[in-house]
């Protein structure tokens, strides 16, 4: 078994910071207590910087700044068009930094440079989308002729706590920052501790675009310290979190005391279901991209491939042959298709699942570290076939370049297998049968379904999962709903006929 390779190099961008600070009330600052943590690059696993490690007192300062900006600052009171102008300036600045952002993101995450290059444009589009949406936003008015008018007064809620993951961090931060700011809230962002580099760019981008001080605040740190303090803070009524399911459960418990609004996009173990009548080549293209792009570190990865028995052997043979040809190497090399996993801790987790898989399935490709890459967090694209539905590699989220393939005999078995996990984020269905396509899509337990397509996102649609994959949805008007209160106002037009108690 061989994997197409490029010789590993260690590319280091110019002008890297050696220390990453918080950004609170318009100023870069260190932690009050001076605490820091080390930041590694995933190719060498050497420390390239320290970052301020936020504690409760740092979160308190950030929340106080955000609360002051919300209560007494101009941002929530601006007309939608005024906020939209600033959002579009933010988008312009993000696009202008595309090359630099991709370079930093690749260095910090191990994401292949060709896949990092699109992240800035996607982040910019999020800001443009919500700039347009808030200008076009309108709310309901309901009339009872001659008696009453009722209308909805939509208003921002306050300080939003945003906790973001380490896979494509800059772009995923924009998914939360754009609607939270567009709707007039102020924010405290807690980026993932593994990848704080690109998040530090937001401060200057926002400042130069004219965002008032205190509207955006950033506190770096560990989830159990800075993240925990943000979730528990009584002056933060909203928490939007993207990450792993058990962390989401902890956030759910800790947010209960203050009855916070929660939006959580959590783990996934999404099925890719390939029927015998599918366009096989297109399905293989999609099923490869869906689990091996972004180094397999994607919540919507189609990491369980279910294939109808009539084409199972052919599919497995072609899929494994393609997987063996995937180029693994230096993330900055444009030929690289799978780079380094984000952190040694995560590498050890994924490597342990590869070893588990060797006793749970038939290894067709990969199976460990590529021989030419003795250092760094590299795992060859790994394919297991004949995986039983109760196997750990079928049931548990691996979040790396590892896939399990399982056969099915008919539609009913395919649906049962697709729904046979605690997760329910995405599903990918490949069939030319229109009736089957719609019936299967509507019965699969997933928040999002792609028919004869890989993961192509429309920003107007809801994004989120069911079961253990999430709570609530964001995207389009669902984001507007999450980040605003909808207040019902009732006006009487005629005589009020109130019962005269005590008269």
Q: Which residues are catalytic?
A: 265
DSSP string, 146-158: TTEEEEEEEEE-S
Q: DSSP letters of 235-295?
A: T--EEEEES-HHHHHHHHHHHGGGT-EEEEE-----EEEE-TTS-HHHHHHHHHHHHHGGG
Kindly give, in sequence order, each residue whose CB lies less than 8 Å from that of residue 397, ignoring residues fewer than 6 positions away.
244, 245, 267, 268, 269, 303, 423
Residue 122 has a CB neighbour count (10 Å cut-off) of 17
User: Of 170, 165, 158, which is closest to residue 63 (Cα–Cα)?
Assistant: 158
Contact 307, 340 (CB under 8 A): no
Specify the DSSP element, H or E, that contains 379: none
Q: How far apart are CA 57 and CA 219, in angstroms?
A: 11
* Angstrom distance (rounded) from CA 44 to CA 385: 32
At 28, phi and psi to the nearest 5? -80, 125
Q: How many residues does the chain have?
A: 503
Nearest in space to 78 (alpha carbons), one of 236, 212, 235:
212
**Distance from C-alpha of 105 to C-alpha of 119, rounded to nearest angstrom:** 9
- Contact call for residues 171 and 198 (beta carbons, < 8 A): no
Cα(444)–Cα(436) distance, integer angstroms: 12
Distance of CA 381 to the CA centre of its chain: 22
Phi/psi of residue 264, nearest 5 degrees: -135, 120
Neighbours of 483 (CB within 10 A): 27
Closest CA relative to residue 108, chosen from 341, 325, 428: 341
């Amino acid at each position: 078994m061989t994997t197409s390779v490029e010789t590993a190099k260690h590319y280091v961008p110019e002008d890297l910071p050696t220390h990453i600070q918080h950004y609170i009330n318009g100023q870069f600052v260190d932690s009050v207590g001076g605490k820091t943590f080390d930041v590694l690059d995933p190719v060498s696993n050497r420390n390239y910087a320290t970052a301020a490690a936020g504690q409760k007192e740092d979160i308190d300062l950030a929340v106080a700044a955000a609360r002051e900006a919300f209560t007494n600052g101009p941002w929530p009171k601006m007309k939608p068009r005024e906020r939209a102008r600033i959002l579009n300036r933010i988008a312009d600045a993000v696009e202008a930094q595309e090359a630099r952002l991709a370079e930093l993101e690749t260095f910090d995450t191990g994401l292949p440079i060709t896949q990092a290059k699109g992240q800035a444009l996607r982040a910019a589009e999020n800001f443009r989308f919500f700039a347009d949406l808030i200008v076009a936003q309108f709310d309901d008015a309901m009339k009872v002729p001659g008696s009453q008018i009722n209308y909805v007064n939509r208003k921002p809620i306050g300080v939003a706590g945003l906790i973001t993951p380490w896979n494509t961090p800059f772009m995923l931060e924009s998914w939360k920052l754009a609607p939270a700011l567009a709707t007039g809230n102020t924010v405290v962002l807690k980026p993932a501790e593994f990848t704080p580099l690109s998040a530090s760019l937001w401060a200057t981008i926002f400042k130069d675009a004219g965002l008032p001080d205190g509207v955006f605040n950033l506190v770096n740190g560990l989830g159990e310290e800075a993240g925990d303090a943000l979730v528990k803070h009584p002056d933060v009524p909203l928490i939007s979190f993207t990450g792993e399911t058990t962390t989401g459960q902890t956030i759910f418990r800790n947010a209960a005391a203050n009855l916070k609004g929660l939006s959580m996009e959590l783990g996934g173990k999404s099925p890719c279901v390939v029927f015998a009548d599918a366009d096989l080549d297109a399905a293989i293209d999609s099923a490869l991209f869906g689990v091996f792009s972004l180094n397999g570190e994607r919540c919507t990865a189609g990491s369980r491939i279910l294939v109808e028995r009539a084409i199972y052997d052919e599919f497995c043979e072609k899929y494994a042959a393609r997987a063996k040809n995937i180029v693994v190497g230096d993330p900055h090399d444009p030929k690289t298709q799978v780079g380094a996993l984000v952190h040694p801790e995560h590498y050890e987790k994924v490597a342990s699942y590869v070893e588990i898989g060797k006793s749970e399935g038939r290894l067709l490709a990969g199976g460990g570290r590529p021989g030419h890459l003795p250092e760094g967090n590299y795992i060859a694209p790994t394919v297991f076939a004949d995986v039983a539905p109760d196997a750990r590699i079928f049931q548990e989220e691996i979040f790396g370049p590892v896939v399990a393939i399982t056969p099915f005999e008919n539609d009913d078995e395919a649906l049962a297998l697709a729904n046979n996990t605690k997760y329910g984020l995405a599903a990918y269905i490949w069939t030319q049968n229109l009736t089957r396509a719609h019936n299967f899509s509507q019965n699969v337990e997933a928040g999002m379904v792609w028919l004869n397509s890989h993961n192509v996102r429309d920003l107007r649609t809801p994004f989120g999962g069911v079961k253990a994959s999430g709570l609530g949805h964001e995207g389009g008007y669902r984001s507007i709903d999450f980040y605003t209160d909808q207040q019902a106002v009732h006006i009487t037009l005629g005589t009020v006929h109130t019962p005269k108690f005590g008269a």
